[in-house]
Structure 1
Amino acid sequence: MLDKIQTKIESLNTGKKLILGAGIRAEEFPKVQSLCESLQENGLIKIVNAQQTAIIIEKV
């Protein structure tokens, strides 16, 4: 699951946004959130909005 999400993020064009949440099981969501935080720390994405069931990210 995380590999699919990371591939999708990497294929985004700069400035494009992606909503992550639908189809992600509740027990997998903390892993997705950690992945996004890690990618943000590396400067690959920006977390626009994070909630309990969804994260909106933007490719930078």
Structure 2
Amino acid sequence: MESQGVAGRMQVTEATRAILGESFVFEERGLIAAKGMGEFRTWFLAGRTGLPPI
């Protein structure tokens, strides 16, 4: 996933998003291909719920 990252943005998988739940705000990025692992749906972490953006 690092090779598919965007400078200055934190990218998380669906599993991480589920764990963090409603405490954070996410922007869907979509599917990315991870070498040797297939495709993953990913999100950018946009901030904490009720607080200014990160």
**Do they superpose with TM above 0.5?**
no
TM-score (norm 2): 0.31
Look at both structures and tell me which one has the larger radius of gyration over its CA atoms: 2
- Of Structure 1 and Structure 2, which has the larger fraction of its residues in helix? 1
